[in-house]
Amino acid sequence: MSLYFFRISTGRYSGASDQPYEFENRAAAWTEMTRVCASLIGSIARSLQPNAEWYMDLLDEDKKLIFRISLLSETGASGGCAG
């Protein structure tokens, strides 16, 4: 079993977790990370501002980046969305 930490870039849950999570391997940690992201992404997307980024990182026990899932909003050249 290995220890992992989660870190969120912005919002109500921003910052790195103080408590490590124990997973059998990186694949198990990735599965949990995607499960957590799936439960958060709706509320994150609703409050995301133009030209902003939200991300969630999975860190190893030395708090080095292993995986990142990000949500990016970008404004087009005209400054708005086509429609």
Write out the chain's pLDDT in tens, 83 residues: 999 999 988 766 566 778 999 999 999 999 999 999 999 888 888 888 888 888 999 999 999 999 999 988 888 866 555 55
Residue 46 counted as domain residue: yes
Q: Could you tell me if residue 20 is inside a domain?
A: yes
Residue 18 in any domain: the answer is yes
Domain limits at 35?
A: 2-72
If one counts the domains in the chain, the total is 1
Q: Is residue 22 part of a domain?
A: yes
The predicted pLDDT at position 21 comes to 93
Q: How are the residues of the chain apportioned to helix, strand and coil, as percentages rounded to the nearest 5?
A: 25, 35, 40
In a domain, 25, yes or no: yes
In a domain, 13, yes or no: yes
